[in-house]
Structure 1
Amino acid sequence: MSSTIKPTIVLVHGAWHGSWCWRFQIPALEALGYSVEAVDLPSVSGVKGTTQFDDAVHVRSVVESQISMGKRVVVLAHSYGGPIASAAILGLSGKGVLGMIALCAYIFPGGMDQGAVIRDIGGLPYVLWDAPSEGLFLAKDARSLFFPPDVPADRVDWAVPQLRPQSMAANMGVVPPQAWQDESYDGRLGYIRCTADVINPIEQQDSMVMGAGGQEKWVIRTLEGSGHSPFLSRPHEVAAALQEIVNDFEAKVGQEQGGIGSLSS
């Protein structure tokens, strides 16, 4: 697989979202020459009991499908999608996966009991549990959580009706084994920070990155003043940051191969 051909970007959305949320991001990536595949996670299908493991299996099937066609893959994951993408690419370093980029996403260690953590902090005040039915949950005020301060009003109006209930089991369960904890991915992990994020504040983003190895493991870029949905507010900036990170991934692979390989442009 030649590194002169740009990898396919597999897009993994966050909780309550779907592949629809990348509507403006996809053309921005395609304009830079990337092929794109966007997934829909089972946990947002309206079926209670679906877990992070179910989501990771689905994403892995998409990644492996791309690899089977001779393509290299970079996974771009938003919010809840961070641990899902990281689980999905476990063991695929050197087998077609170039790396993973987290977009203001959560970074959790494999085996963490996410439900226990949520209970210890007194729950999540911004959600409605068992809504609209048992085993599902919704954000109380999506407009004030996901979109401030920089998503245009017309895009907020377009996005809000498309949000869907999330399986509680996905957020209250155990985190699957994580690829970011495998040293084979060191230098091929990216994090795009969003400094005005309401739901995943920048201090929390930074704490998670530092706890996961910091700049020794992660290539970091920053979107100043961006909230939790830069794929709606700043898709071209996200694409530019992604390209810089992918270039660093390519350089890392070239070093690992003894200098053989070229940067994607």
Structure 2
Amino acid sequence: MSDQKPMRIILVHGSSHGAWCWYKVMAGLLSKGYSVKAIDLAASGADSRKIPEDVSTFDDYNSPLMEFMSTIPDGEKIILVGHSFGGLNLAFAMDAFPEKIAAAVFLTAFLPDTTHQVSYFIDLQFQQLLDRKIEPEINLVVVPGKSEPLITICFDSKFLATYLYQNSSFEDLTLASVMMRTTSTFSEDLKKNSLLAKGGFGSVDKMYIICNEDALISKEHQRWMIQNNGTVKEIMEIEGADHMPMFSKPNELCQCLASIVDKYYSI
């Protein structure tokens, strides 16, 4: 790839997934000469750690992204892309390293603000799911040294087929069913965090890609988060995309990301 364009796109997966879920998008972007990397968060994908044995806080979970951000040389900027719950991972990276991020792309993702705790957006999404009678498998796990039990979440094949992969191929759904990992929202832990800063998270240019047939985070809720945040510079929408556009609409997603990169980098 000696003709790669001098830019880096960093892809951050959502709950229970891993770097593997970006393989179609990575191939599409690499074939066009873009520099792209997908990260496994802790206890996700190929990362050997487990929830809750090794990972019981959001900081633990987010450590691979934060460690990567710390290695970016001074003066270099990247584009961060976060899917679903991965929007919260982006938010903390933006807050800590705003000078290293040219733009942050929220892909049908949780988009917080600087006036509510991040846990507010988790609670809001779960309440919406309960109102719609959508309930993933939830367990409470007692973790030594923690006053509150850790909520762990699993997505079974039926849940995946109905709410995440309904427009994706059966082959991709089967892959996901094999690759799923137990995860957590770490909501009790995040309730103790300070608000995101206007000079950190609030200062980074934000883009949002709406998936208009998302059965998990509704199109209406995606638009509400955009309006509530109030600082999103550009909104794109992918027609026919379910919650997993990297599988259901990979070419369209690549086009969206390429247009954002080309806008923020001189090629």
For residues 251 and 222 of structure 2, the distance between their equivalents in structure 1, rounded to whole angstroms, comes to 21
1:160-184 residue CA offsets vs partner (Å, 9 max, x unmatched): 211111135x244426554677443
Report sequence identity in percent: 22
Counterpart-to-counterpart distance in 1, 2:125 and 2:181: 21
User: In 1, distance between residues paired with 2:11 and 2:129?
Assistant: 32
Q: Which residue of 2 aligns with 1:101?
A: 105
Q: CA deviation at 1:247?
A: 3.2
Shift of 1:211: 0.4
Say whether 1:10 aligns with 2:28.
Answer: no
Query: Aligned residue pairs: how many?
Result: 241
d(CA) in 2 for partners of 1:222 and 1:117?
23
Gaps of 5+ in 1: 251-262
TM-score using structure 1 length: 0.79
Decide whether the 8 Å contact of 2:138 with 2:154 is kept in 1: yes
Q: 1:178 to 1:33 in 2, by over 3 A?
A: farther
Residue 184 (structure 1) aligned with residue 213 (structure 2): no
The CA deviation string for residues 219-245 of structure 1, in whole angstroms up to 9 with x for no partner, is 111101110111112222111101222
Number of the residue aligned with 1:256: none
Q: How does 1:80-159 map to 2 (within 5 A)?
A: 80-94=85-99, 96-109=100-113, 111-114=117-120, 117=124, 125-130=134-139, 135-140=151-156, 141-149=159-167, 151-159=168-176
Question: Could you report, residue by residue, the CA deviation over 1:22-47 in whole angstroms, capped at 9, with x for unpaired residues?
Answer: 11111111122221221112254432
Tell me which residue corresponds to 1:42: 42
Normalising by the residue count of structure 2, what TM-score does the alignment of the two structures yield? 0.78
**1:63 and 2:72 matched:** no
Alignment match, 1:249 = 264
Aligned to 1:212: 229
Task: Give distance in 1, aligned partners of 2:240 and 2:107.
Answer: 14
5+ long unaligned stretches in structure 2 = 143-149
Q: Which residue of 2 aligns with 1:260?
A: none
Name the CA shift for 1:179/1:41 in 2 (closer, same or farther; >3 Å): farther
**In the alignment, residue 154 of structure 2 is paired with which amino acid?**
L
Counterpart for residue 236 of structure 1? 251
Q: Calculate the aligned-residue CA RMSD, in Å.
A: 3.0
